[in-house]
Structure 1
Amino acid sequence: MNILFGFININSYISHIKFIQHQDRKQTSIFSISIDAAIAHDNEVRVIDIFVESLSLKDFEFDLDFIENDRPAYHPADLLKLFIYGYLNKIRSSRDLEKECLRNIEVMWLLHLLQPDHNTISNFRMVNEKAIKKVFRATVQIAKRLRLKAGGHFGALHCQLAINFIRCNTLQISTLRPLDFSLC
């Protein structure tokens, strides 16, 4: 059991240390304001971020292995966030997702300014196909528990699942309450 929108699992935080590190969203750089301030508080990327950070990727059987002496890999949670964002916004191609990482401020915020290339995105999708399907099933279960209307559609590889995080019921992050859910 995990608690959605509750405390972030410390094991998830520690496992991020072994991977390519993010930049701080609140750090001012080429923008005159921090990237965090540029994203509205009710933006769907904040919901995606909270949702993915609340998951135990090990329970969903994501590939968390890496070679100790090689170049650090992107953490699967970061690539899953990009993948979910792409499906919610009808961006299916790994090359298009790569472009979004360079030009879309929502994606920049979501990935902490990481810029994975299309091969990395495509390989993640291929290696974690079953785990991604499980996440989408859990997403639909959560939407049912929150009584969200089935608005937009996004495909999880071979199946179409109906969900729309914010647009249907104008769901606000501040109104979310902790929710117990079983992972599968």
Structure 2
Amino acid sequence: MSRFIPVDRQTSYLFPPSVEDWLPENHLARFIVEVIERLDLSELTRQYAGRGSAAHHPAVLLGLLIYGYATGLPSSRKVERATYDSVAFRYIAANTHPDHDTLAAFRRRCGEQFEQLFVQVLMLARELGMLKLGKIAVDGSKVKANASRHSALSWGHIKKIEAQLRQEVKQLMALAESEDRKQVPDGMDVPQEIARRQERLAALDEAKRKLEERARERDAQAQAEYEAKVAKRQAKRDAGKKPGGKDPQPPSAGGPQDKDQINLSDEESRIMKVGGGFDQCYNAQAAVDADSMLIVAGFVTQAGNDSQQIEPMLDVLARRQEQLGRIGQVLADTGYFSAANVAACEEAGIVPMIAMKREQHHPPMLDRFTEPPPLPHDATAVEAMAHRLKTKTGRADYALRKQTVEPVFGIIKHVMKFRQFLVRGKQNVAHEWSLVALAWNLKRMNVLSMA
């Protein structure tokens, strides 16, 4: 007697199927659809003029992209295929099938609205009691740009290639003007070869122009920093105090340096150190709430280190203070430490907890149970923070950093499989990072809703 469940692919449905029966009640796809239905999508729907054939609703396209990023399928082509193959994607699309061009155009055109929707989702999380801002952990991670490092050219290499191409053009011109056509190799189209090299020379000229523009901006910034230091030391002298150290030396405006690089695929990306090597990347920054592990702010930067990223993050948080609430404490690793960053936190009314140096992995046992000596009354902001980090409470607070922001980046890269941006240009990359953060937040909120 057979004990197998019968398999019948021929009998028609006795009742019309409903998409509501396709997924479990607590499925992420259901949660994403329910949240999107509660968002204000007027900024998205307003972009449709109403002419031509009927368009897919922005709620459907947004839901497909968010679920794609949340489940490791950010590619618009893979999302289109999944609307046929995946029950969850079919549910979100209501059994429709937007093509990959429609999805890619929506992501490109509506990038600015993703940040607004990101804030709306955080406001909803706060309304549901999932988000209670207090301590946030800040960190950054290098994410590969949509560009190959082999497409990068340095100023020094550009000059070498330029000289080589100009020499080759001269040789080709000589062949073209030669009366003896036997000197031209078989299969060579001299005018076409000249045109190809002239096109490459034009591209190199444009790359040189952009490198020169960057060098001017860098020189102007260095000059402004020099003048600020001079003014600060002069103010001390005027107050009758002697400034410490040597007077700063004026910067030398040398223009582009041989090591300055530009990428021909995505000129706004930068070569950054990743692990044991280098790659073409952007530095993605995120501020994560310590209690809920929701990303409350994020942006991308072209800087390879994090030392200048505290103030921009504080600016983002300040703009969202009315909607999300006030931050009480910032946790960050040694890459963010500087006296200026500590002062910026103090001025914003936020308690800084920024590691000043790497701690040893196995400190003496008694150090974990002792308190530091009392803080002097005339202690600076940096000294006060250093004292705070040595207290039992401070050590416990700072320990939250590793279990807050680092797991978020780990899940985004290894579970959601987001290791490379799909778009090019810093602004487009920033919009995509907002979409990634939005996908993570909905994924996390779905877990919190079941707790």
Q: Tell me the TM-score range normalised by the shorter chain.
A: 0.5 to 0.7
**1:125 corresponds to 2:269:** no
The CA deviation string for residues 132-178 of structure 1, in whole angstroms up to 9 with x for no partner, is 222123324444541443454477513563522323x3x24xx9xxx
Computing the radius of gyration over CA atoms, which structure comes out larger, 1 or 2? 2
Q: Relative contact order: is structure 1 or structure 2 higher (C-alpha 8 Å, sep ≥ 6)?
A: 1
Match of 2:445 in 1: 165
Match of 1:37 in 2: 21
1:25-104 superposed matches below 5 A: 34-58=18-42, 61-104=43-86
The CA deviation string for residues 81-119 of structure 1, in whole angstroms up to 9 with x for no partner, is 111111111211110110111111011111111100000
What TM-score comes out, normalization by structure 1 length?
0.65
**Separation in 2, partners of 1:87, 1:140:** 18
Aligned-residue offset at 1:29: 6.0
Aligned-residue offset at 1:42: 0.7
Contact in 1 for aligned 2:130/2:445 (Cα 8 Å): no
Contact in 1 for aligned 2:39/2:121 (Cα 8 Å): no
Q: For structure 1, which runs of at least 5 residues remain unmatched after alignment?
A: 1-27, 176-184
**Separation in 2, partners of 1:139, 1:72:** 28
**Separation in 2, partners of 1:64, 1:30:** 41
**Separation in 2, partners of 1:133, 1:76:** 15
**Separation in 1, partners of 2:109, 2:14:** 35
Distance 1:55-1:29 versus aligned 2 partners, 3 A rule: farther
Match of 1:149 in 2: 293
Q: For structure 2, which runs of at least 5 residues remain unmatched after alignment?
A: 1-11, 132-291, 295-407, 419-430
Aligned-residue offset at 1:50: 1.1
Aligned-residue offset at 1:77: 1.1
Contact in 1 for aligned 2:80/2:97 (Cα 8 Å): yes
Secondary structure in 1 matching 2:19: coil
Secondary structure in 2 matching 1:100: helix
Aligned residues: 142
What TM-score comes out, normalization by structure 2 length?
0.28
**Separation in 1, partners of 2:33, 2:91:** 10
Contact in 1 for aligned 2:19/2:91 (Cα 8 Å): yes
**Separation in 2, partners of 1:129, 1:116:** 18
